[in-house]
């Protein structure tokens, strides 16, 4: 595997499917123009609205999202991650689904988010993802591609290190952590959690993100990032929509794993 550029897209998605997909297309094109071969979109890239609206439109969002991802991957000849969109399960619930698509448009991997964000945030906002989302039951996949071994997770998963240890044990070299991280928790926890997952598993982390105000009081942190296996932040998109781009280098990965062979020294698990 040769070194290549990866892109973590940052969006301010709204409760407007078509508008969001148009914005996503523009940002994918921006990443491709800069040379990206691996492009990742954040959680809720296609729709960021309240639970009622999300459930009501879930079938439409799912169909449009899958078609969009396949079309974009083929058009721009990139490997493309859609970091999270609802896939209906019955009338009132959905899986929060990440989908990885190959440059020829075929599906490489699919993951249903297992950890649901049911939290009373100290800023006064309450989140109950389980009201409308069905938790996945399977470990996330590691997908073997020409760009390396890619592991899929979604947002709140980042607080559960065992899921990333599982991915590294399955051979992951790049960990996707697409997110819509709350503004309140993000300022203290987002970057340090991403760095921890990279360091403890000696993997690259690619973390596309939502940013800004989406509807009502829903604000997200931003700072889509790419982090190397030593924990170095290679790119940070800041707080505005845009793209974080950095190199994924297999020689750097091998070097870090030689210098810090902690995965070989595990005693438990």
Confidence of residue 18 (pLDDT cuts 50, 70, 90): very high
Q: Residue 258: CB partners within 8 Å, gap ≥ 6?
A: none
The per-residue pLDDT for 268 is 87
Quote the CA–CA distance of 269 and 258 in Å, as a whole number. Answer: 21
Quote the CA–CA distance of 89 and 59 in Å, as a whole number. Answer: 9
Structural domain contains residue 269:
no
Residue 20 lies in domain: 4-263
Structural domain contains residue 11:
yes
Residue 171: pLDDT over 90: yes
> Which candidate in 23, 66, 113, 203 is catalytic?
113
Domain holding 59: CATH number? Answer: 3.60.110.10
Four-residue CA torsion sign, 54, 56, 59, 61: negative
19 is an active site residue: no
- DSSP H or E segment with residue 220: strand 218-221
pLDDT above 90 covers a percentage of the chain that reads: 92
> Which candidate in 23, 37, 43, 203 is catalytic?
43
Quote the CA–CA distance of 154 and 243 in Å, as a whole number. Answer: 18
The per-residue pLDDT for 123 is 85
Q: Tokens in use for 74?
A: 């083929």
Task: From 159, 208, 161, select the one nearest 188 (Cα to Cα).
Answer: 159
pLDDT above 70 covers a percentage of the chain that reads: 100
54 is an active site residue: no
Q: Residue 93: CB partners within 8 Å, gap ≥ 6?
A: 55, 132, 133, 134
Q: What is the pTM of this model?
A: 0.97
Domain count, the chain: 1
173 is an active site residue: no
Strands 118-120 and 126-128: antiparallel
102-143 confidence digits (pLDDT tens): 999 999 999 999 999 999 988 888 899 999 999 999 999 999
Task: From 100, 108, 146, 135, select the one nearest 3 (Cα to Cα).
Answer: 146
> Which candidate in 23, 54, 143, 155 is catalytic?
155
Structural domain contains residue 27:
yes
172-195 confidence digits (pLDDT tens): 999 999 999 999 999 999 999 999
Quote the CA–CA distance of 114 and 138 in Å, as a whole number. Answer: 8
Confidence of residue 44 (pLDDT cuts 50, 70, 90): very high
Structural domain contains residue 268:
no
Q: Residue 169: CB partners within 8 Å, gap ≥ 6?
A: 263
246-266 confidence digits (pLDDT tens): 999 999 999 999 999 999 999
Structural domain contains residue 48:
yes
């Amino acid at each position: 595997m040769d070194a290549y550029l990866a892109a973590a897209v940052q969006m301010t998605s709204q409760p407007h499917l078509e508008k969001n997909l148009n914005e996503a297309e523009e940002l994918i094109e921006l990443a491709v123009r800069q040379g990206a071969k691996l492009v990742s979109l954040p959680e809720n890239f296609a729709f960021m609205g309240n639970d009622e609206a999300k459930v009501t439109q879930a079938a439409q969002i799912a169909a449009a999202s899958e078609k969009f991802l396949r079309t974009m991957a083929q058009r721009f000849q990139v490997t493309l991650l859609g970091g999270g969109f609802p896939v209906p399960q019955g009338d009132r619930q959905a899986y929060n689904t990440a989908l990885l698509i190959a440059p020829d448009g075929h599906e490489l991997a699919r993951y249903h988010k297992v950890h649901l964000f049911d939290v009373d945030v100290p800023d006064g906002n309450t989140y109950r993802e389980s009201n409308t989302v069905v938790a996945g039951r399977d470990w996330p996949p590691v997908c073997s591609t020409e760009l390396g071994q890619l592991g899929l997770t979604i947002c709140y998963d980042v607080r559960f290190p065992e899921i990333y240890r599982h991915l590294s044990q399955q051979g992951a070299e790049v960990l996707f952590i697409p997110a819509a991280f709350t503004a309140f928790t993000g300022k203290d926890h987002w970057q340090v959690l991403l760095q921890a997952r990279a360091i403890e598993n000696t993997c690259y982390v690619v973390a596309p993100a939502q940013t800004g105000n989406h509807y009502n009081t829903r604000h997200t942190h931003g700072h889509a990032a790419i982090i190397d296996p030593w924990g170095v932040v290679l790119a940070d998109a800041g707080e505005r929509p845009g793209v974080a781009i950095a190199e994924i280098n297999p020689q750097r990965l091998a070097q870090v794993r030689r210098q810090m062979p902690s995965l070989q020294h595990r005693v438990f698990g």
